[in-house]
Copies of this chain bind each other. A is one copy, B any other.
């Protein structure tokens, strides 16, 4: 029996409190930090919710002011957080951002060990929730958090396969969480189950030794995982894709950098938006690069962009002031 979809996308992952000093200040000497939230899966969820897609984000959070803050801010943007498992006495992950401008890099200091979601009992999450969604979205960070998270991610993929819900999987290798070998082995089945597989060029090389020209790397990913849609993200070089034997390249949109964090997640959200709207893949990729460019122009992980603004950016309307 087929479930009626309640959500366009459902995801599972960790969202953290994000603390960052004002522009031009360094973390060590800052006297005030801006409080925001960030997590790759919920970043995608928020961007989609702002584009008016019904989405749900599932995770575990401690019932303290910081945990409630994460849920509340997601709710603000319209993300359904009713699937969240609330825990007494745990902690949230926190990450500190030392935002740089060239040639000084932005540096991330994670303090995420032992978070509520990393220590969650897998039986607390019901994998069949995916049946009520059109897409399942996961990233390679979640299996890296803990064996429990890995089990949950696997159960969700299995439930999705049973219910014929497609998986959008973003490799997102985090070197601070695990080794390339462990990641490569663990993530391969996820990649092989994905309908849309997203992988950055550096991750493709680090995990699976795929190097050479972007086209060669893309071919390597396709041959290895056979995803119906394979996307190789190239940073300022845009995105290279293959689907049904056809090749696509969409260059990045130039943007004034305010905050780079979350640009990749905005790209994923833009592509999913396109697929949900059933435009062709080239157009979906254009949504992706446009949403990534717009994200970069604002503080925080989140791409707070309306459909109207996304369309305007794609049309390339040259006006600097709208009034």
Contact = CB atoms under 8 A, between A and B. Distances in A.
Contact of A176 (B102, B114, B323): B323
A96 interface: yes
Interface string A72-99: 1101111000000000000100101010
A86 to B, nearest CB: 12
B31 A31 contact: yes
Contacts of A322: 105-108
A136 interface: no
Given A19-B19, A96-B66, A298 B76 contact: no
Interface in A16-45: 19, 23-36
Interface of A: 19, 23-36, 64-66, 68-69, 72-73, 75-78, 91, 94, 96, 98, 100-111, 113-114, 174, 176, 253-256, 258-261, 290, 293-294, 297-299, 304, 309, 312-313, 316-317, 319-323
A24 B65 contact: no
Residue among A29, A102, A319 facing the most chain B CB atoms (10 A cut-off) = A29
Contact of A256 (B32, B77, B102): B102
A105 B320 contact: yes
A113 B114 CA distance: 9
Nearest to A34: B32
A36 B27 CA distance: 12
B323 A259 contact: no
B320 A260 contact: yes
What 8 A-B pairs come out closest when comparing CB atoms? A108-B323, A24-B299, A101-B256, A28-B65, A104-B297, A27-B65, A24-B258, A76-B76
Contacts of A319: 105
Nearest to A63: B306
A101 B257 CA distance: 8
Contacts of A304: 26, 28-29
Contact of A323 (B34, B103, B174, B323): B174
12 contacts: A23-B24, A25-B298, A28-B69, A29-B69, A29-B304, A30-B35, A102-B256, A102-B320, A105-B317, A105-B322, A114-B114, A261-B321
A258 B293 CA distance: 19
A34 to B, nearest CB: 6
Contacts of A258: 23-24, 101
Residue among A26, A94, A176 facing the most chain B CB atoms (10 A cut-off) = A26
A77 B72 contact: yes
Contact of A298 (B26, B77, B113, B321): B26
Nearest to A92: B111
A111 B91 contact: yes
A321 B66 contact: no
